[in-house]
Amino acid sequence: MLQKNKIALLLSAVIILVIIGAGYMYLDHHPKPFPSHEAAVGEMGRYNKTAIQEVLEVIPIDDVHVVVPFVSENNEYGIGLWKWEALSWKLKKIEQRGEPFLWKLKEKDPSSHVLIWNMNPSDQISAIDYYLMRERSYYGTDEHNTYQPRIQLKHRVDASTRSYGAIQLPEVWLQLLEDERAANRSSESFSLFSSFSPRSSIAINWLPRSAAGEFVFPKHTVNGGSYVLSDVSTSPVYIIDPHDLE
C-alpha cells in the first residue's frame, strides 16, 4: 500500500510539473501587449545618456521582437531593441544614434535580419539607398580559375515623410546570400557579411540622399554610442561614398 502511495505521489508531481511547463511555454509564446509609451520611455531613459522625450513608434518585427525609435531631450534620435523573454518585455539594447544597423534575430539566417534606422531630421535626408555589394574578383590555381562579377543591388527607402523604420532584407538579396552561403558551405570561416569576416565578399552599405538626389553626410545622425543590456546580435551598416558606385 505504501509503495502504491509513493507511486501515486510521484505521478501527481510529474503531472503538476508537466502542467506548469506547458503553461509556461504557452505564456512565453503568447506575449502580453507591449508596454505603454510612458513605460517604454521610463525604461529606456534609465540607460540612455540623456532623458528620452518621445517614443516615435512601436514597430513589431514579429510576435516577440519590437523596435522602438525615440527622440531624447537633446534632440538625439536613437533606437531601443526589445524582446519578449521569460514572460516579460525586456530591453535588450539602446542605440543612442540613428544610423542604420542590422539586428540579426537569428545569427546565421539572413531572412531574420532586420535593417533599422532613425535619421535626425536636421540632416534633411529624403531617401536612403541601401546596397548589397560585392567587388569583382579573380582567383585560381594551376587547374582552376574563378571570376566573380561585381554585385551592386540597390533598395531605396523613402525618408521624406518618415525618418525612421525597420525592414527585412529584400527577397532578391536573400537569394544571393543563400547562393553565397551554398558556394562556401564547406568553409568553416564563411560569414555572410564583410563586417563579420575579412574572407566574406558581400556587404551591406547605405547612402543618404537629399531631396535633390545628392549625397548628404548625416552628421547629426551618426554621432552617439550604444548600451547593451543583454545578449543581442547586431552589426553596423557602413556609409559609402557615391564614388564607390558603378
pLDDT of residue 145: 74
Residue 86 has pLDDT above 50, yes or no: yes
Residue 8: pLDDT band (50, 70, 90) is: low
Residue 188: pLDDT band (50, 70, 90) is: very low
Mean pLDDT of 72-88: 94
Residue 178: pLDDT band (50, 70, 90) is: confident
Helix, strand, coil percent content, the chain, rounded in steps of 5: 25, 35, 40
Residue 19 has pLDDT above 90, yes or no: no
The H or E element spanning position 192 is none
Question: What global pTM score does this model have?
Answer: 0.81
Residue 109 has pLDDT above 90, yes or no: yes
Q: What is the pLDDT of residues 147-172, one digit of tens each?
A: 778 899 999 999 999 999 999 999 99
pLDDT of residue 149: 84
pLDDT of residue 147: 75
pLDDT of residue 4: 60
pLDDT of residue 11: 62
Mean pLDDT of 77-86: 96
Mean pLDDT of 172-189: 75
pLDDT of residue 148: 79
Residue 2: pLDDT band (50, 70, 90) is: low
* Lowest mean pLDDT segment, chosen from 37-51, 106-120, 174-188, 227-241: 174-188
pLDDT of residue 5: 59
